[in-house]
Amino acid sequence: PNPLKKAVHKVTETVRGDGEGPPEGVPGRPGSEPPTVEEPTEPREPLPPKPDQSGPATISPTGAPTGADRARAAQSGAHLTDAQGVRRPDTDHSLKAGPRGPVLLQDHHLREKVMHFDHERIPERVVHARGAAAHGVFQSYGTAASVTKAAFLAEGAETPVFVRFSTVLGSRGSADTVRDTRGFATKFYTEEGVFDLVGNNIPVFFIQDAIKFPDVIHAGKPHPDREIPQAQSAHDTFWDFVTLHTEATHHTLWNMSDRGIPRSYRTMEGFGVHTFRLVAADGGTTLVKFHWKPKLGVHSLVWEEAQIAAGVDPDYHRRDLADAIEAGAHPQWELGIQTFPDTPDQTFEGIDLLDPTNLVPEELAPVQPIGLLTLNRNPSNFFAETEQVAFHVGHLVPGIDITDDPLLAGRLFSYLDTQITRLGGPNFPQLPINRPHAPVNDMLRDGMHQTAVHRGVAPYRPNSLDGGCPFTAGADMGAYVETPVLVPEATKVREAPESFADHYGQARRFWLSMTPVERDHIIGAYTFELGKCWEQAIKERALQVLAHIDPELCAGVAEGLGLPAPEPTEPLADVEPSPALSQLGRTWPTDGRIVGIVTGPDGDLDGVRAVREAVVEAGMVPLVVAPTGGTLEGGDGAGALTVQRTFATARSIEFDALLLAGAPGVAADAYGGKDAKAGLADGTTPGHDPRVSLLLHEAFRHGKAIGAWKGAEAVLEAAGVPAGAPGVVVADSGTTALAEVTRLLGAHRVWERFTR
Cis? peptide before 229, omega within 30° of 0: yes
Please name every residue paired with 194 in a beta bridge, in sequence order, or none if there are none: 189
Contact 389, 434 (CB under 8 A): yes
130 near ligand HDE, rule: CB under 6 A: no
Minimum gap (Å) between residue 421 Cβ and ligand HDE: 9
200 near ligand HDE, rule: CB under 6 A: yes
Choice from 12, 57, 60, 125 touching ligand HDE (CB under 6 A): 125
Choice from 141, 189, 205, 241 touching ligand HDE (CB under 6 A): 205
Considering only residues 510-529, where is the footprint of ligand HDE by CB under 6 A? none
Q: Quick count: other Cβ atoms within 10 Å of Cβ 536?
A: 10
252 near ligand HDE, rule: CB under 6 A: no
Query: Which residue, 273 or 615, is less far from ligand HDE as judged by CB?
Result: 273
Burial of 176-194, coded b for 16+ CB within 10 Å and e otherwise, reads bbbbbbbbbbbbbbbebbb
Query: Which residue, 199 or 399, is less far from ligand HDE as judged by CB?
Result: 199
128 near ligand HDE, rule: CB under 6 A: yes
Minimum gap (Å) between residue 75 Cβ and ligand HDE: 26
Secondary structure of 352-379 in HEC code, one letter for each residue: ECCCCCCCCCCCCCCCEEEEEEEEEECC
210 near ligand HDE, rule: CB under 6 A: yes
22 near ligand HDE, rule: CB under 6 A: no
| DSSP 3-state of 177 | coil
Stretch that binds ligand HDE, among 90-98, 198-206, 589-597, 650-658 (CB under 6 A): 198-206
Query: Which residue, 125 or 702, is less far from ligand HDE as judged by CB?
Result: 125
Sheet holding 621-626, edge to edge: 645-646, 621-626, 594-598, 657-660, 705-709, 728-731
354 near ligand HDE, rule: CB under 6 A: no
Query: Which residue, 201 or 374, is less far from ligand HDE as judged by CB?
Result: 201
> How far lies 541's CA from each of 219, 241, 242, 244, 533, in Å?
16, 11, 10, 8, 12
| DSSP 3-state of 692 | helix
Q: Active-site residue 503, yes or no?
A: no
Query: Which residue, 433 or 530, is less far from ligand HDE as judged by CB?
Result: 433
Which member of 79, 93, 128, 376 is catalytic?
Answer: 128
Minimum gap (Å) between residue 192 Cβ and ligand HDE: 22
220 near ligand HDE, rule: CB under 6 A: no
131 near ligand HDE, rule: CB under 6 A: yes
Those residues whose C-beta lies under 8 Å from the C-beta of residue 532, and which sit 6 or more positions away, are 229, 232, 234, 235
Minimum gap (Å) between residue 334 Cβ and ligand HDE: 19
185 near ligand HDE, rule: CB under 6 A: yes
183 near ligand HDE, rule: CB under 6 A: yes
Stretch that binds ligand HDE, among 5-13, 195-203, 288-296, 693-701 (CB under 6 A): 195-203
| DSSP 3-state of 711 | coil
Lay out the site mask for ligand HDE across 256-285 (x = CB under 6 A, - = otherwise): -----------------x------------
213 near ligand HDE, rule: CB under 6 A: yes
Stretch that binds ligand HDE, among 236-244, 262-270, 405-413, 746-754 (CB under 6 A): 405-413
Cis? peptide before 214, omega within 30° of 0: no
166 near ligand HDE, rule: CB under 6 A: yes
Choice from 411, 519, 651, 702 touching ligand HDE (CB under 6 A): 411
Stretch that binds ligand HDE, among 235-243, 407-415, 530-538, 556-564 (CB under 6 A): 407-415
294 near ligand HDE, rule: CB under 6 A: no
CB nearest ligand HDE: which residue? 183
- What is the rounded CA–CA span in Å between residue 518 and residue 152? 38
410 near ligand HDE, rule: CB under 6 A: yes
- Provide the Cα torsion 616, 617, 618, 619; round to 10°: 60
DSSP of 607-658: HHHHHHHHHHHTT-EEEEEESSSSEE--SSSSSPEEP-EETTT--GGG-SEE
Stretch that binds ligand HDE, among 40-48, 297-305, 412-420, 459-467 (CB under 6 A): 412-420
Total residues interacting with ligand HDE, rule: CB under 6 A: 25
Query: Which residue, 305 or 387, is less far from ligand HDE as judged by CB?
Result: 387
Choice from 368, 418, 451, 736 touching ligand HDE (CB under 6 A): 418
Query: Which residue, 210 or 626, is less far from ligand HDE as judged by CB?
Result: 210
Check residue 629 and give left, alpha or beta (phi > 0: left; psi -120 to 50: alpha): beta
Residue 45: DSSP 8-state: P
- What is the rounded CA–CA span in Å between residue 233 and residue 243? 13
DSSP of 549-607: T-HHHHHHHHHHHT-PPPPPSSPPP-----GGG-S-S-----TT-EEEEE--TTS-HHH
Contact 372, 153 (CB under 8 A): no
Query: Which residue, 273 or 543, is less far from ligand HDE as judged by CB?
Result: 273
353 near ligand HDE, rule: CB under 6 A: no
655 near ligand HDE, rule: CB under 6 A: no
Residue of 224, 96, 239, 120 lying closest to 172 (CA atoms): 120
288 near ligand HDE, rule: CB under 6 A: no
Residue 121: Cβ-neighbour burial (10 angstroms; 0-12, 13-18, 19+): exposed
Q: Active-site residue 200, yes or no?
A: yes
Minimum gap (Å) between residue 413 Cβ and ligand HDE: 7
- What is the rounded CA–CA span in Å between residue 21 and residue 9? 17
251 near ligand HDE, rule: CB under 6 A: no
Query: Which residue, 209 or 602, is less far from ligand HDE as judged by CB?
Result: 209
Minimum gap (Å) between residue 406 Cβ and ligand HDE: 8
127 near ligand HDE, rule: CB under 6 A: yes
Q: Residue 164, CB half-sphere, CA atoms under 13 Å: how many? A: 24
Stretch that binds ligand HDE, among 111-119, 326-334, 409-417, 543-551 (CB under 6 A): 409-417
Choice from 152, 348, 391, 655 touching ligand HDE (CB under 6 A): 391
Is the C-alpha dihedral spanning 455, 457, 460, 465 positive or negative?
negative
Choice from 198, 608, 676, 744 touching ligand HDE (CB under 6 A): 198
Choice from 414, 499, 515, 527 touching ligand HDE (CB under 6 A): 414
Which member of 108, 116, 119, 200 is catalytic?
Answer: 200
Minimum gap (Å) between residue 709 Cβ and ligand HDE: 46
Q: Quick count: other Cβ atoms within 10 Å of Cβ 529?
A: 22
Choice from 55, 369, 415, 725 touching ligand HDE (CB under 6 A): 415
- What is the rounded CA–CA span in Å between residue 232 and residue 580? 28
Residue of 640, 657, 590, 655 lying closest to 620 (CA atoms): 590
> Residue 729 is inside which H or E element, if any?
strand 728-731
Contact 185, 166 (CB under 8 A): yes
Query: Which residue, 133 or 692, is less far from ligand HDE as judged by CB?
Result: 133
164 near ligand HDE, rule: CB under 6 A: yes
Residue 382: DSSP 8-state: T
- What is the rounded CA–CA span in Å between residue 756 and residue 745? 22
- Provide the Cα torsion 575, 579, 581, 586; round to 10°: 170
The number of angstroms, rounded, from the C-alpha of 236 to the middle of its chain's C-alpha atoms is: 27
Stretch that binds ligand HDE, among 310-318, 336-344, 384-392, 439-447 (CB under 6 A): 384-392
Q: Which residues are catalytic?
A: 128, 200
List of residues contacting ligand HDE (CB under 6 A) = 125-128, 131, 164, 166, 183, 185, 198-200, 205, 210, 213, 273, 389-391, 407, 410-411, 414-415, 418
